[in-house]
Amino acid sequence: MKTNLAPALAGATGMAFVGGSVAVSGFLAGAPSLTVQSLRYAVACLLLVLFARVTRQRLVRPRRTEWLWLAGVVVTGMVVFNVALVQGSRHAEPAVLGVAVACVPLLLAVAGPLLEGQAPARRLIVAALVVTAGAALVQGFGRTDGTGLVWALVTFACEAGFTLLAVPVLGRHGPLGVSAHSTWMAAVAFGIGGLVGEGPAAVLRLRPDDVLAGIYLAVAVTAVAFVLWYTCVQRLGSARAGLLTGIAPVSAAVVGVAAGGPMPGPAVWLGVAVVAAGLAMGISPSGRHPSDDPSLWTVRIEDAAEPAIR
C-alpha cells in the first residue's frame, strides 16, 4: 500500500482540483472564453518554468514524433475538450457530459495497458466499472438530443486522450515537462482562436471576477493539477490512475455544497460510497497480478516512449 499511496494521493488531489473547477468556471460565463483560456495556460506555463528553474529540473525540447504526441494532448484534452463542453451544453444537460467523462476509467483500464505493452488486468476493469457506476450516480442522468449525445462522446474521447496520448512522452519529459510543453502549446492555440474570434481587445473586457477565476484555473487546475496527474499516471500507470477520475464529480458535489448549493440526495451519497469501493478495489495492491506492480508500469512507460524518440 505504501508504494501506491503517494502517487494515488497526487492523482486524487489533482482530480479534486479539477472537480472543484466546475463551480469556479461558472464565474466565466460572460467572459471571452478563448482569451481567458489562453491567459490561463500562459500563466500556468510560466509558473511551471519558474518551478523547474527553482528546483533545477531540466526541461528538454521535444523532438521528432514527440511533437505529435504533445499536440495530441493539447488538441484533444484542452482545445476540442473545451469546445465539446461548450457546444454540448447547448444540447444536453451538464449531467450527460459528466456521465460521459465518468466512463473514462473503463477506457483507460483497457486501452492504457495495451498502449503500455501489456494485457489489461481483469481486476482493474471491474474496479473501473464500479467507479464509473458510482460517478454516474453522483452526476445524475440528464436529458439530451442526438447532437448532445455526439458531443458527449467527443468529450469522453478527449478526456481519455489527455491521459493516453501523454504516456509515450512521460518517460523522457516527465510530468513537469509534459505539463510545461502542453500548456504553452495550448496558450498559443487558444491565443490564435481568441484573436480571430474575439478580437485583440477581448482582454480589456475581463472583469475582476474573471481574472480571479482565471488565476485559480491557472494555478490549481492547470499548473498544480497537471503535474500531480501526470505524476500519478507515470507511477501507477494509466489504467490504475484512471480510476481516480471518479473523484472529480465527488469533488464537484462537495464544492457545490460549500458554495451554498443544496445538500446531495441519497443517490449522490450512494454514488460516493460506490466510487470509494471501486478505488479501494483498484488502488489496493492486495492480490494484484505481477504485471500490476507500479515499478513495472514506470519502466514500461519509458519503454513505450523509446520508439517515439528515436
What are the tens digits of pLDDT across the range 264-286?
677 777 777 887 777 777 776 64
- What is the dihedral sign for C-alpha 187, 192, 193, 195? positive
Give the number of C-alpha atoms closer than 13 A to the C-alpha of residue 102, restricted to the C-beta side.
30
Cβ proximity of 37 and 186 under 8 Å: yes
Closest listed residue to residue 282, CA positions, set 155, 113, 116, 148? 113
What residues contact residue 207 under an 8 Å CB cut-off, 6+ apart?
Answer: 31
The DSSP secondary structure of 148-216, one letter per residue, reads: HHHHHHHHHHHHHHHHHTTHHHHHHHHHHHHHHHHHHHHHHHHHHHHHHHT-GGGGGG--HHHHHHHHH
Closest listed residue to residue 70, CA positions, set 150, 214, 188? 188
Residue ranges making up the domain that contains 219: 2-309
What is the identity of the amino acid at 183? T
DSSP 221: I
Cβ proximity of 145 and 93 under 8 Å: no
- What is the per-residue pLDDT for 261? 63
Q: Residue count of the chain, please give it.
A: 310
Chain position carrying cell 483500464: 109
- What is the per-residue pLDDT for 23? 63
- What is the per-residue pLDDT for 289? 40
User: Over the stretch 300-309, which tens digit does the pLDDT of each residue have?
Assistant: 333 333 333 2
Question: How high is the mean pLDDT in each 10-residue block of the chain (310 residues)?
Answer: 72 81 68 87 95 91 93 92 76 69 80 76 82 74 74 85 90 92 94 89 85 87 90 86 79 66 70 78 56 38 31
Chain position carrying cell 491567459: 39
Q: What are phi and psi for residue 92, nearest 5 degrees?
A: -140, 150
- First vs last Cα of the chain: how many Å apart? 36
- What is the per-residue pLDDT for 94? 64
- What is the per-residue pLDDT for 7? 83
Cβ proximity of 239 and 56 under 8 Å: no
Structural domains counted in the chain: 1
In whole angstroms, give the CA distance from residue 188 to residue 206.
19
Give the number of C-alpha atoms closer than 13 A to the C-alpha of residue 41, restricted to the C-beta side.
22
